[in-house]
A = this chain, B = another copy of it.
Amino acid sequence: MPGEQRNAPRTRREVLAAAARALSEQGPNISLDAVAKEAGVSKGGLLHHFRTKQALIVGLIEEWFDHYDATVESLLEPEDTPGRWTRAHIRATFVPDDLWSHPSVVTALLGVPELQQRLDVAATRWRQQTDSDGLHPQRADLISRALDGVTLADLLWRGQESDEERDRTRDLLLKLTEQAGPLV
């Protein structure tokens, strides 16, 4: 099917978005049939991209990391000043991401070995970016931990915090990158 092949990347993205929607609406135990229906593609069209539910879950994981890394790159300041990578990570973490951080999506992804592998690779790279960013290790560590904390809040008590609270934390973290010395 040449037509299908030409639109393969788009179909792949649509299937993944449909999978995330299905997970957030129907819970972690989605079927490939339900995802194909949600995406508006045939079961065969879905199987062309993802042969199993496991492959679909791994696809979601890869998409999440690719999306986050692209967001960080897009938010990098042009000038290479101290804290540049750290500020891009701060801004990327606070970009709203309603679809991917739904509890059912997280539940479906958690415990998948590929998630652990991708996390290990990504966490190492992110750490290298913020560790060689010209900030004192105390600052780099504290900001990284706080960003992980914001992620946990997104996963577990999303909606419990006001936009003002989130903005205040983001602004505080950005301010902490404006000086480079030790914190205490």
User: CB within 8 Å of B: which residues of A?
Assistant: 27-28, 103-104, 106-107, 110-111, 116, 119-120, 123, 138, 141-142, 144-153, 155-157, 160, 168-169, 172-173, 175-176, 178-179, 183-184
B160 x A184 contact (CB < 8 A): no
- A119 CB → nearest B CB, Å: 6
CB distance A150 to B145 under 8 Å?
yes
* B106 and A157 contacting across the interface, CB-CB below 8 Å: no
Residues of B within 8 A of A153 (CB): 145, 148
Q: How far is the CB of A31 from chain B (nearest CB, A)?
A: 17
- Whether A178 lies near B172 (C-beta < 8 A) is no
Chain B residue numbers with a CB within 8 Å of A138 are 172
Q: From residue A86, how far is it (CB to closest CB) to chain B in Å?
A: 14
Decide if A123 touches B160 in the complex (CB within 8 Å).
Answer: yes
Q: Please name all residues of chain B whose beta carbon is closer than 8 Å to the beta carbon of A168 when the two chains form the complex.
A: 141
Give chain B residues whose Cβ lies under 8 Å from the Cβ of A141. 168-169, 172
In the assembled complex, which residues on chain B have CB atoms less than 8 Å from the CB atom of A172? Answer: 138, 141-142, 183-184
**In the docked arrangement, what's the CA distance between A65 and B89, Å?**
31
Q: Which residues of B contact A103 (CB under 8 A)?
A: 110-111
In the complex, which of the residues A116, A145, A175 has the most CB atoms of chain B within 10 Å of its own CB atom?
A: A145
